DNA sequence: ACCTGAACACCGTTCAAGT
DNA sequence: ACCTGAACACCGTTCAAGT
């Protein structure tokens, strides 16, 4: 009957599962405890507070990223840097696609996650191997921004969100005042009526943006 | 004695002020009401719920962006597109620098803000004037991502956060396992010991990353 | 040492009642 | 029509008490 003892690790793993199934807002101390067959107050013996749970979740995801990246490591010397950086970043992205709540959480945290720092360190190593100076590498990290971790926050690029087939209601109401946007969207929908809402392929778009930045950086090398 | 009547507009303006002075977490229905000399429940006569308050705040910021951009509009035909897009985006950025909580909020909203859509529409107009196809413009918006609205979420690029002069404690503890990152940071600190923590100039970095993307796009035109 | 129940100080929101 | 007080169903967290 007695469930396995609580531990920081079990708490964090349960928190990730909870977020996966109910979004980040489902992660409350009370529900987390319930999931673990304990009382909310028991969690505080393994975790200082909720902030630390959220930091811990990010680190769990970071570890998943580093594991995934380790399986696709490529030689990074000279020209190889570009491909090596690209596959590492795309490996991170695949992890995030399994945890769609993670990008927003990662960005909202102000504490550094050790695992994500390891990911960044690996990326810096790749760029150094490629021949970038420390200064160029520093600029490069800023230019990549969150893309270095495999995502771009999509704002509400119109057409985003659940692919209901319905046009965004806010956009529809404003169509008259958004001639350029509406023109663009209607043409794209026309060109490719079968893709999601006829307009967005996130993976292709991510890679397009990533390649623009990587190419720009390669040119500076 | 009787304060001016409540209104959706006054509620939203007070919410922005509250966020400016105490961060987004200071925006609660109860405190918002207090700020307005009313009871929390009175707000619900002017706003459906808190979600709508948050959407409204984003729209207020969006309106500020469009006002700022209107003051720096440039001709956008042909080669002019690049400069026109650049100044509009940097105008947006200046607004966001006055509301440091806004980027995270903008990214977290799933509803489109009419004012931000107007900003995007203007940007699409500029790119169309510059000679981009609808398809290219669509790709360009994705490549720009949040940069189109004047910000890049900075993750915890180490060295971020309050410029205490102290190195990040998490990084310090892991120095041995982060040889590349530590090497990069120490050299940058050495090169330019007087800037913030000797390492980050957000504005310069933003413009560097923006120019990389704009150049990449210009090359496709 | 680990876990717990009751309690506290907050939330957003509903509802019935006031003017 | 606009505003309100009391109440409800949640939060995170403290504290004293149990084993």
- A69 sits within 7 Å of strand D by its CB: no
pLDDT tens track for A75-91:
999 999 999 999 999 99
Any idea which nucleotide's C1' is nearest the CA of B46? Answer: D2
* Cα atoms in the Cβ-side hemisphere of radius 13 Å centred on B102: 29
* CB-closest option in A104, A170, A217 to B107: A104
Does the beta-carbon distance from A158 to B114 stay under 8 Å? no
Residue nearest the C1' of C6 (CA based): A41
Contacts of B116 in chain A (CB under 8 A): 155-156
* Cα atoms in the Cβ-side hemisphere of radius 13 Å centred on B213: 28
Distance C2 C1' – A43 CA (angstroms) = 10
Q: Are the CB atoms for B213 and B123 separated by under 8 Å?
A: no
Distance D18 C1' – B139 CA (angstroms) = 63
Tens of pLDDT, residue by residue, chain B (221 residues):
346 788 999 999 999 999 999 999 999 999 999 999 999 999 999 999 999 999 999 999 999 999 999 999 999 999 999 999 999 999 999 999 999 999 999 988 988 899 999 999 999 999 999 999 999 999 999 999 999 999 987 776 554 444 445 567 788 889 899 999 999 988 876 665 544 333 455 788 899 999 999 999 999 99
pLDDT tens track for B19-40:
999 999 999 999 999 999 999 9
| Angle formed at CA B131 by CA B126 and CA B132, multiple of 5 degrees | 80
pLDDT recorded at residue A164:
46
Nucleotides of C under 7 A from a protein CB: 1-6, 10-16
Distance of alpha carbon A219 from the chain centroid: 26
pLDDT recorded at residue A190:
65
* Average pLDDT, rounded, for chain A: 88
* CB-closest option in A106, A178, A187 to B155: A106
Please compute the mean of the pLDDT values over residues A192-213 and round it to a whole number: 71
Distance D1 C1' – A53 CA (angstroms) = 47
């Amino acid at each position: 009957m007695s469930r396995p003892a609580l531990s920081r690790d079990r708490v964090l793993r349960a928190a990730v599962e909870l977020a996966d199934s109910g979004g980040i807002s489902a992660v409350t101390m009370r529900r987390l405890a319930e999931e673990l067959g304990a009382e909310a107050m028991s969690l505080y013996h393994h975790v200082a507070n909720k902030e630390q749970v959220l930091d811990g979740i990010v680190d769990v995801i970071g570890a998943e990223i580093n594991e995934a990246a380790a399986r696709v490591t490529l030689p990074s010397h000279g020209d190889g840097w570009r491909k090596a950086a690209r596959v590492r970043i795309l490996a991170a992205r695949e992890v995030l696609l399994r945890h769609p709540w993670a990008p927003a959480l990662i960005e909202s945290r102000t504490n550094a996650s050790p695992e994500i720092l390891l990911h960044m360190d690996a990326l810096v190593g790749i760029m150094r191997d490629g021949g970038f100076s420390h200064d160029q590498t520093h600029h490069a990290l800023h230019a990549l921004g969150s893309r270095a971790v495999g995502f771009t926050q999509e704002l509400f690029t119109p057409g985003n969100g659940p692919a209901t087939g319905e046009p965004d209601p806010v956009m529809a109401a404003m169509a008259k005042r958004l001639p350029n946007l509406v023109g663009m969207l209607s043409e794209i929908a026309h060109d490719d009526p079968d893709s999601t809402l006829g307009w967005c392929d996130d993976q292709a778009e991510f890679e397009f943006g990533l390649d623009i930045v990587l190419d720009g950086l390669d040119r500076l090398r």
